């Protein structure tokens, strides 16, 4: 499964690293590194991490919690992050 983290949004809360430690890891105090190609057996854990990320920074195939947010027409300036 493919995934990507918007590291501009990510605040280093480490919630994902706690829920899916084989996919996400903290590197230093607040840098997140992750495997953008998570094995299929991680789906469950990854889904939990996607749902639990306080800033919804994680997008994964078929588990997108953010996809719909970009479709509004009044997004303009609020895309600013």
Q: Is 26 exposed, middle or buried, given 0-12, 13-18 or 19+ CB atoms closer than 10 A? A: middle
User: Applying CB under 8 A, which of residues 19, 44, 52, 61 lies at the interface with another protein?
Assistant: 61
Q: Which does 67 bind (CB under 5 to 8 A by kind): another protein, ligand SF4, none?
A: another protein
- What Cα–Cα distance (Å) separates residue 47 from each residue in 60, 66, 73? 8, 13, 28
Q: Per rule CB under 6 A, is residue 59 in the interface with ligand SF4?
A: no
Q: Which does 42 bind (CB under 5 to 8 A by kind): another protein, ligand SF4, none?
A: none
- Residues 27 and 70: beta-carbon distance below 8 Å: no
User: Applying CB under 8 A, which of residues 21, 30, 41, 51 lies at the interface with another protein?
Assistant: 30
- How far is C-alpha 56 from the geometric centre of its chain's CA atoms? 6
**Which residues lie near ligand SF4 (CB under 6 A)?**
5, 10-16, 24, 32, 53-55, 57-58
């Amino acid at each position: 499964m493919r995934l990507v983290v918007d590291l501009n949004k990510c605040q280093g809360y480490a919630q994902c690293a706690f829920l899916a430690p084989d996919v996400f890891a903290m590197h230093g105090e607040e840098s997140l590194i992750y495997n953008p190609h998570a094995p299929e057996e991680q789906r469950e854990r990854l889904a939990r991490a996607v749902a639990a990320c306080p800033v919804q920074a994680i997008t994964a195939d078929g588990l997108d919690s953010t996809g719909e947010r970009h479709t509004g027409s009044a997004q303009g300036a609020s895309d600013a992050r």
